[in-house]
Amino acid sequence: MKKSLALSVLALTSVGLVLNHVALEPMDHSYILNVDGQHWDAGGAVLDAMTRWSRHCEPVQVSSDAMPTAVLEAIRAHSPPQSHAVKGVQWLSSGSWYLAEVTFPELEPAVIVLKNHHGHLQIQDRGIWSGPVGPWRPGPWIRRYLLTQVPSAPADLLACYEPTPGLFRPH
């Protein structure tokens, strides 16, 4: 068999093999890579890498230490009694803005955007993410959602948020 024919057969076989096992599927106004029935968020992986490369976290305080009492009190007051037993996982702050990642005994984990208004922390309208992210990577999905819901929040605050591994699992 000639080299050119062998290379052509190899190329066609390779393309056929990939097309038989890999597909790009539309889902949730985006696309997900399906590899033999397993979903993989290739776009989310690229967005995560780009965010890590381009963000500026110097003005943002990131901590997994004890969450400030004012943040926990604002969350407890938002939807009692379910939020009464809130536990802080991590928090970020930038100027008068806070982002809190929290868990509850009977509710899904949440990421909440708060702002200090004249010495009083307030949860921002529509600035709450809660629930699973499906097959998507949680970082890009949650950051994009919060950025569209609270466009006045500092972009660096949202960009510097990294979800706690395993907290937002698909159902």
The full set of domain ranges for the chain reads 24-159
Instruction: Please report which residue ranges of the chain form alpha helices under DSSP H.
Output: 3-21, 42-54, 69-78, 138-149, 155-159
- pLDDT tens profile 41-59: 888 889 889 998 999 999 9
Q: What letter represents residue 158's amino acid?
A: L
Beta bridge partners of 165: none
- For residue range 130-159, what is the model confidence (pLDDT) as tens digits? 988 889 899 999 999 999 999 999 999 999
Taking the complete model, does pTM exceed 0.75, yes or no? yes
- Kindly report the number of other CB atoms within 10 A of residue 146's CB atom: 23
Pick from 103, 112, 13, 94: nearest CA to 56? 94
